[in-house]
Amino acid sequence: MSYTIEARRNAKLVRSRLMGLSRPREAAPMIIVSQPQIEEPLPKVEQEEQCISKVLLAPTFRRIMAVVAKHQGIEPTDLMRRTRVPKIVNARHLLIILSLRLNPNRTISSIGRKLKQDHTTIMNARDKTLKNMVENASLVRSIAELERILLYGDNH
């Protein structure tokens, strides 16, 4: 096996770092750094684009807001209003549940900031909607339909 000079330097550097030394020493244990052998040719750009397009990305908060508003027959800005109109409140609850389900990294506090509400209000809405899902099959169907639209588009 032939190693490049750079690979040898890197091996000495790794060896010295493992031993906690500031500069390389000959007595340190030997670590072999080899170059990986590529068996298959790299994929073409078209294949990479197809792979990337198949990756499932979590929908943005704005996209969820737009889809929920369209589904409920209201404007997306209505979801931001501080109102207790049942149609808007139910749509807001759908928005909260879908935001939490479709993006597990999204926090209750971040949803509260986007809706200009306290995080405890968001927690209450989440809990109330989950309770209603147990009792109301049509709510479960609505959430499933909205998830399908958000994840796969309108065509499916």
pLDDT digits over 30-77, tens only?
A: 444 444 454 555 555 555 555 444 445 789 999 999 999 999 999 999
Average pLDDT over residues 7-31: 54
Q: How far apart are CA 147 and CA 101, in angstroms?
A: 9
Question: 91 vs 59, 68, 97, 99, 142, CA distance in Å?
Answer: 17, 7, 10, 12, 11
pTM: 0.64
| Domains, in order of start, for the chain | 1-35 (no CATH), 61-152 (1.10.1750.10)
